[in-house]
Structures are given as structure tokens and as C-alpha cells.
Amino acid sequence: MKKIILFAFIISLFLFFPTKVSAVSYSCTTSGGKKVCYYSYQVNDPDFRYSISKVTKNGTSGLTLWGWGFLYNASSYSGSSNRYAVEVIYNGNVIKTYNAYTYSFAPVSCYHFQKASSKIDNNECMYQSQYSSFPSWIFSNNIKYPNALNSVYDYIGFSTTINLDEINTLIAAKANLTCPKSTHPACVKNNCGGVASEKNENNNNLCSFTKEGSFKFYLRLKLIAPSGAVRNSDRVFYKNISIYNDTNIISSAVRSYINTKGMTISTNNYSSAVATRVDAGYVRSGPGLNDSPIKDSGKNVYVPWYGWYTPTYTTYRRTLVASTAGGNITLNKILIYGYVTKGCGHSNTSCNDRVLMPDSTSRSGYISESWTYPSNPVTYIDTKIKKNCKCERTPVSFNEGAEVPSSCSNDAKTATKNDTLKVDDTIDVSTATALNIMLKGDNSSFATQSQYQGMSFNVGKLKEVQDNFNYSSDNNYPVYCMLERNFKLYGKNDIYGAITQGKDEEKIYAGRYYRIKKDKMTADITKKCVTNPGCESTINNIANSSTITYDLSYKPDNTLKTKMINGSEDEDKEVKITSVSSPTQISKTIQSKYEMRNDQTYYYDYKMGDVSLSETDFLIPGRNIYPVPVKTTTNNNYDIRVTVKGNKKTNGNSDTDFTYTCSYMPIGKDNGTPDDSGKKNNTNYYYRTIGLKNVFPNNRKASYNWSNANAQKVKEEIESNGENIYSKNPKYSVIINTAQMREIRKYNNSLESSGGYMDYSLKCTTTNDVRTCYSKFLNNIVTKGYAEEFKRGDN
Amino acid sequence: MKESMWGYLLIFIGLFILTVLFFVYNYSTANENDYYLLKEATEAAMIDSVDRGKYYYDAEVVIQKEKFVENFIRRFSEITNINRSYKIEFFDIYEDPPKVSVRVTTSTGEHVFRASAADNPVVNTLDAILETKN
């Protein structure tokens, strides 16, 4: 018995003290009324606490990687700017090393949290770079020192820029990709991955990749110690890196090569503080501000800002843009934190770089321990928002364009400059576009104590906005849906890449964006309840069908390059779409409010009216949108199915969050070649009859698509089976007589205006990554009188 | 009397030959006609059933078999002789690389059959692929 107890105790020790942790975590705890938040990077090497945490765009094919962390005994690394490097790893091999440039710096200001008793808490500090070239936002973290400000740990940042074109070329070479002939833009740009190829009449490379245009590669930070020892960080999956497009649009080349599955991509020039987190709701700071708010898992948002202390400063203003998902921000707490060096001014160099260190012994210019928390911070709201509105989320009718109902149970007035926020105030930011909150202290407190920096408040029940890409299995083109009261259709830029539309462009390619010229389209919405029969009754106030007028004029996010998209037809025709996490709205808001049970799925089919596409028109993209000649006729109906999956979660506080996953796909319309023959196509493939004994007789060279391993296998099967296949059971068998052929002809006629033979519907399911599709026409061919008998054999 | 019998015999033989000729002509016309319709419909259906998204994005030529079968049936019904019945069988549909084998069975005049191939006088088969231009 004793041995068992001892054994269990030893085992439990291992459970409580894990030997190795390799993770990025962010957590806050409350201790003695004081919130302590820290963000820790833990790698296997305790002396090398780095990670590649953020990626920003750099030009058209560059990605700048940023990271920061602590380095043990950083001074021993001094003298070499190349001591850090980022390695690009593909297939287990390092294919490229980019030297990273490091910035060791003294922290400019240190944020930390403290309570009114003003006890300075060690080990909590945020740092900022004093180098303007290094974006300060990446330092907007609460970082816990490995030790209590052990001076041997320095805070180091690094950055490097990797070239994606170069990486793709290297990967292409490694992946032994062949170059068939096609004018796929991604290939053309990539110059066939370095493999020589033919050129077409326009002198473009005729090549493409045989694989889907996404290659998984890893990035790893390498540190070379002065002794020569190499330390590697954990490998960072590309998919865990958020790519932020600060200024430029991601080119097609980039996105063709990066599988954005699972990635958070933002075109904002501000970002959330944590690269790898997707949190419920978000509050963002406006563009142009240096530091982004930080939100922890407890829905606390810490809004840092800083300023230089001067005797004249008395107020600081931060502008926060609330999530347009709406919801309430409950001001639970106003916690003023942060401080500047007492007595130091902006140009006062005697403060030793304005260093703020909780450890008062190692640097100068520290805050006095007599810093006190202001007892009555004064704040006011400088925007038009509803204040103190205890609005319940009541169902609204499914009306497009409907405003948020003012069904507040108490006075929902518009806040003015003179309003004062207090703890536990609720601010309804559902209609707000900006939330300006100022902290104001009186002169004396500022002059003698500190400036109030930062503010935190609880984020209330903001809706979760989820991206749920699943290109491979869903075959849906995801939209960025935000629901609660608003149900919006967004087009999301993605791996399909940017497009170029010029005057000579004749086709619209799958997966690309085109602008729909028409200002408005009429859409009929048919609501269907799919997964739970009878669930219609649970949907409140949603009309079974309603006519919604869409305004499909493009409403770009202001951080995107809008010139090309928002311009008139006379302007530059080139339309390039970036990836967005702040989505590109391509339709108006449809408002609805409903409660959804877990995993309920609803389909909303939007039937679009006729749209006549021109070269400046947008087409809602999807994998099943086929090329349409731009100057085609008006038979371009694109029915869209928006699938909304609900997920209702109730947390421990009895809060209920509704999250929705929205996906979008075009339904069954294929407006490829509008003519009937089906033969006219400007593609790179053609039809040929064969003999079953020899698919490529007379030493005929196998074409590209019959040259790969799979095709070889198929060829061998065909030739070995030969004519015997006709003695086996057919895969499909149908018997049709005269009357049935008449019915089919009637059916064909009825579809002439909607694509003719290209009007079809496939019902697809995916099981274990295998996608199986069934034709609706074939499913009903007998019941609808189109055939006497129909059999599907063993497929 | 003897001479008239010869005359009748000649007429009978002539009619018999005409009947045989007519039957053979009808059969071969139907066969040839069906073959060309089969070829045209297969080509059009194969090209229509190419997954263009996959082609334009991944440069892969892949057909969707259900779409091919539907497209073929609809096209064939549109263009063929409506006065006959057909049995259409699809063997060996490979989506990637695209290869199909189709057998169309009909008769010159009788109604739909379900018997074995031996009772189906007009049978056409076709095997075809889609290949890229090299």
C-alpha cells in the first residue's frame, strides 16, 4: 500500500511539474485585487525565449518577421548584427537562412498594473522600442521577466525580411515540380520555379505547379551564441503566423504559395497584440496609433498608450474602435496604469533613455514608490454612443438595413463630452464607430505623480467573429460573417490570389474578384432549415422569404488600397484584392436576430438577378465559379448559398455567446462556355478517342496530365482490362425511351436561359477527406420521368 | 403459267432483296448515326464536366463523373433519334486523368429491351480521354 501511495505521489510530481514546455501563453491572474498579466514565451531553451510572433508585409513578396523576447546575457552577443537568423525549413531541410537584425534597446516606458496601494510589482513590465523603425506595437505586451529583473536578461527584438518569391522558387526546386504548359498567372510570375519552360506567343512562361499552390514551410529563429553554439527556437508553423498587410496588397504570387488555412490575415495597419490568438470579440485601436489594446482571455482589454511627461500634459486620449460586431462593452474597471519617469522630460537625456524599470536599483529615473493610484480618475466619452443602455438583444425583423432597435429599457442617450464613465458602466457600441475615452487628471496629480497611461475595461458580450476556412473539405468559399444582429456577406480574399483585369482581359477566372457594376441587385432569399427538421419554428422573426435589395458596390475597408477598387471605370482597371480579416463587404447588411441551437445549420439561398458583367465588375468568388467571358450575355445568374452554422456556448458566468460560422458558395451555376457545343474552349486540353489496348499508340508521347504516377497507374489499368470492361457491371446505366427523351428535352429548354447544359446541381459530402458528389438530376431522373431505369453501379 | 411463275419469283426475290437492303441500310445508318452522336455527346460532356476551378487554379484537368453522366444523358437525348429507345451505360469513368467508356444500345425498330447484348442489334461503344496539349 505504501509503495502504491509513493508511486502515485511520484507520478503526480511529474504532472505538476512538467519538464518541458514549449508554448506561447498569455494569462492574467488576480492577486490581492491586482491583476497581473503576463505573456510568456517558453521554449525549450530557457535562455532563448524567442519566437517569431508577427509578420508584416514588405513589398509584394516580402514578409517581415518580428519577434521579441528575453535573452540571457545579451551583452555577450554584442558586436554582431547577424547573430540571429531566421531559417526557412521545408521538408525538414533548411532551404534558406535570413539574417535577422536585432535591436537591443532600453525600454522606454514600462507599463504595469498596480493598485491604489501603489506597491510596484516587480516582474511586470512592457517595453517599447526607442527605435522608430521598429514598430512599437509589437512590444505592447505584458511581459514577465524570467526572473525578477535579473540584469542578465535583456529585452531584445529582432526583425528580418524573407522573400517569398525566393522561398517559393527554392521550394519548387526541392519539390521537383514539373512544368506543364499553362498560363496560370501564379506560375507565370514564378517563372516556373526556375525550371525552364516554353513560352507562349506573348513570351509568357507556360508553366504551372502540379500541386496545389500551397507549401508548408516553417520558420525557425536561430541564435548563434558568441561561443558558436547554435540555439534554435521552436519551429513556428507558418500557419500560426499572422500576416499583416500594413501598406501593400499581397500579390498573387504570395498567396498562391501560402496556404492561408488557419491563418489570420489582416490588412489593417494595426493589429491585435497577440499573433496567434483568436479571441472572442475584439477592440482595436484606430489606425495610426502606436499601440494596440491587449485583450486577455478574461475579456479584459488593456489599452496602453504612452506619452512623454511634461508639466503641461494633463490628459491623454485614446481612440478605440469597437468591433463592428456590435455588442456591449461593459466598463468594469478603470484601471490606470503605467507611468513615466518621474522628472524626466522628452528631451531630458539625464534620465538614461527614459528607462522605467520596476527594479529601482539598476537604472536611473525610476518611478518613485510613492506613486499612487488616482482615486477618482475622470473619464469622459467623446463620441456618440449610447451610454448606460441596458439593451437586451431582442429579435428584430429580417430587414435589410434595419437599425439596431432602440429598445433600451432605460435611458439610452447619446453620450457627450461631459459624460463621465464610472466603473460598471455599460457602453453600447453597437452603432459606434469609434470610442474615445479620455482619462483626465488634475494638474497636481499629473505634475507630481504620473500621467495616466492606459486603461483597461472588460469587454462584454461582443460577438465572436470567426473565420472558418476549410477549403479542402467544404468546397465552400468562406465569407466573413458577423452575426448577432447583423448578417453580412463578405467576400474574403484568399489563396486564390489577386487578379489583374485589364482591357484585354477576356475571361473571369475562378476564385477571383470582380466588381459587379450594377448598383443594386434584387435577391430572393429562401431560408431553409437543413440539419434539424422543424427547426424553423425556433427561428424568430425571420421571414421565410423576403426580397432583399443588395447593394453590391464595393465598400472597401479603409486600409485597403481603395483606389483601384473604388475608382470609376475610367481609372486604373487593375483590381487587386488583399486578404482581409477586416472583411471586404460586398453586400449590404441583412439584419436578423435569431437564436440557434448548437450545430444547427441554415442555408440561405440568394438568387441573384441578372448581372451583366463587364471588365470592371466583381463576381463573388467561389471555387465553382467558372470562367465567363467578360463580354458575355446576361445569362449570368449566380445563386449564392450562405451557410450559417450556429454554435451556442454558455460559459461559467452564465453568459451566452453565439458564434457563427459562415460560409458561402455559389450554387450550381456554371457559366463557362455559354454555347451548346461544349467544344469551344480556349483551354489547354482536348478530347481524343482511344483504343483500350493502347492509350498512346504509335509511340505517342503521353501528355502532361497522363504523365504523372497516378495517370500511369490508370493507363495500366485501362490497358490491362481492355475490352473486358464492357463485360463488367457499368458504373452508371440508364434506359430512356421516346417519352422520356421528350421530357429531357423540355428540361433542357427550361434551362436555356440559365446556362443550358452548364446548369447543374451537385450535392456533395465529405467523409474522411474524400469528397463525393451526386448529381441532383441523376438522383431524380426516374422520379421526374426522365428515364425508365437508372442505376449507379459500384463507383 | 410457267412464265408468270418466274415473274412472281423475280418480283419476290426483288422484294426480298429490297427488304434485306432496307434492313441493312437502316441498321448501318442507325449504327453510324449513333456512333457519331455518341462521339459528339461524349466530347461535349467531357469538356463540360471539367472542374474549371481546379483547372484554372491548379492546372489540373479533372472531370466530375456525376456531372459528366448528367451532361451526356441530357445532350444525347437532345440530339439523337427520338423515335428509339436507348440504353446508355457508362463504364470506367476516371476523373483524374479524365477517361470514359460509354456504350449506347438501341434497336432499329423494336421497343426498349432489357435482354442481353445479343438481343440488341445496334451497339456502339466509345472510349475517350482528355489530354493536355503538349
Going from the C-alpha of A141 to that of each of A38, A41, A53, the distances in angstroms are: 8, 11, 11
Would you call A745 and B94 a contact, using CB atoms and an 8 Å cutoff?
no
Q: Looking at the complex, does the CB of residue B66 fall below 8 Å from at least one CB of chain A?
A: yes
Is B129's Cβ below 8 Å from some Cβ in A?
A: yes
pLDDT of residue A609: 37
Q: For residue A453, which of A788, A109, A733, A18 has the smallest C-alpha distance? A: A109
Tell me: pLDDT of A778 over 60: yes
- The residue of chain B with its CA nearest to that of A694 is B127
From chain B residues 23-52, the ones with a CB under 8 A of any chain A CB are: 39, 42-48, 50, 52
Residue A700 amino acid letter: R
Interface contact flag, A731 B67, Cβ < 8 Å: no
Contact B73 A781 (CB under 8 A): yes
Which residues does residue A735 pair with via DSSP β-bridges, in sequence order? A789, B87
pLDDT of residue A746: 92
pLDDT tens track for A425-438: 444 444 433 334 44
Q: Does any CB of chain A come closer than 8 Å to the CB of residue B79?
A: no
Lowest model confidence (mean pLDDT) among A301-305, A643-647, B94-98: A301-305
> For residue B59, what pLDDT is reported?
61
**What angle is formed at CA A714 by the lines to CA A696 and CA A91, rounded to 5 degrees?**
115
Helix, coil or strand: residue A665: strand
Structure confidence at residue B69 (pLDDT)? 94
Nearest-CA distance B116 → chain A (Å): 11
Alpha-carbon span A427 to A328, nearest angstrom: 6
Q: How many CB pairs under 8 A join A and B?
A: 223
Arithmetic mean of pLDDT, A634-654: 40
Higher confidence at residue A408 or residue A648? A648
What ipTM does the predicted assembly reach?
0.81
Q: Would you call A223 exposed, middle or buried from its count of C-beta atoms within 10 A (0-12, 13-18, 19+)? A: buried
- Pick the residue from chain B with its C-alpha nearest to A181: B134
Q: Which of A2-11, A255-264, A267-276, A397-406 has the highest mean pLDDT?
A: A2-11
Give the pLDDT of residue A537: 36
Q: Mean pLDDT over all residues of chain A?
A: 43
In this complex, is the C-beta atom of B91 within 8 Å of any C-beta atom belonging to chain A? yes
Q: Between chains, do A757 and B127 touch, taking CB under 8 Å as contact?
A: no
Classified as helix, coil or strand, A211 is: coil
pLDDT at residue A687 tops 60: yes
Percent with pLDDT over 70 in chain A: 14
Query: In B, which residues are within 8 Å of A728 by CB distance?
Result: 91
Q: How far apart are the C-alpha atoms of A788 and A774, rounded to whole Å?
A: 19
Instruction: Please state the rounded mean pLDDT for residues A255-270.
Output: 23
Residue B73 has pLDDT above 90, yes or no: yes
A198 interaction partners in chain B (CB closer than 8 Å):
none
Q: Does B123 touch chain A (CB under 8 A)?
A: no
Which residues are registered as beta bridge partners of A220?
Answer: A87
| Region A788-793 average pLDDT | 88
Structure-model confidence comparison of residues A750 and A201, the more confident one: A750
pLDDT of residue A414: 40
Band the pLDDT of A757: cuts 50, 70, 90: confident
- What is the distance of C-alpha A407 from the center of its chain? 34
Query: Which residue is listed with cell 496601494?
Result: A117
Look at residue A781 and give its three-state secondary structure: coil
Highest averaged pLDDT of the listed ranges A148-157, A542-551, A735-744: A735-744
Q: Is the pLDDT of residue A119 over 80?
A: no
* pLDDT of A442 strictly over 50: no
One DSSP character per residue, A384-420 reads --EES--B--------BTPPPP--BSS--EEP-TT-B
Q: Check CB contact under 8 Å for B132 and A685.
A: yes
Query: Could A678 and B85 be called an inter-chain contact, meaning their C-beta atoms sit closer than 8 Å?
Result: no
Task: Quote the pLDDT of residue A94.
Answer: 76
pLDDT at A164: 65
* Nearest residue, CB atoms, A774 vs list B66, B87, B92: B66
Q: Which chain B residue has the Cα nearest residue A724? A: B91
Q: Cβ contacts (< 8 Å) between B132 and chain A: which residues?
A: 180-181, 684-685, 703-705
Chain-centre distance for alpha carbon A302:
22
Whether the predicted pLDDT of A83 surpasses 80: no
**Residue of chain B with shortest Cα separation from A628:** B52
A475/B73: higher pLDDT? B73
* pLDDT (mean) for A54-65: 60
Statement: residue A738 has pLDDT above 80: yes
The mean pLDDT value for A560-578 works out to: 26
Q: What is the DSSP letter of A301?
A: E
Alpha carbon A184 to its chain centroid, in Å, reads 25
The alpha carbon of residue A550 is apart from the nearest alpha carbon of chain B, in Å, by 26
pLDDT band at B55, cuts 50/70/90? Answer: low
Cell of A14: 511529474
Residue in B46, B57, B129 closest to A510 by CB: B57
Residue A621 CA to residue A215 CA, distance in Å, equals 23
Q: How many angstroms away from the CA of B67 is the closest CA of chain A?
A: 6
E strand or H helix at A257, and its extent? helix A252-257
Q: Collapsing DSSP states into helix, strand and coil, what is residue A508? A: strand
Burial class (CB in 10 A: 0-12, 13-18, 19+), B106: buried
pLDDT 10s digits, A504-549: 222 322 222 333 222 222 222 233 333 333 333 333 323 332 222 2
Residues A779 and A790: their CA atoms lie apart, in Å, by: 9
Q: Specify the pLDDT at position A474.
A: 25
Average pLDDT over residues B29-58: 76
Q: What is the DSSP string of A567-594?
A: S-TTS---------SSPEEEEEEEE---
pLDDT at A773: 77
pLDDT grade, residue B37 (50/70/90)?
confident
- Alpha helices, H only, B49-99: 52-58, 65-79
Residue of A672 and A99 predicted with greater confidence: A99
pLDDT in tens, A185-217: 444 444 444 444 444 444 544 433 333 334 455
Q: Exposure string (b/e) for A432-456, b if CB count within 10 Å is 16 or more?
A: beebbbbbbbeeebbbebbbbbbbb
All residues of chain A having their beta carbon less than 8 Å from the beta carbon of residue B99 are: 690, 695, 714, 718
pLDDT tens digits, one per residue of A380-395: 333 333 333 332 222 2
pLDDT at residue A223 in the model: 61
What does the pLDDT read at residue B67? Answer: 87
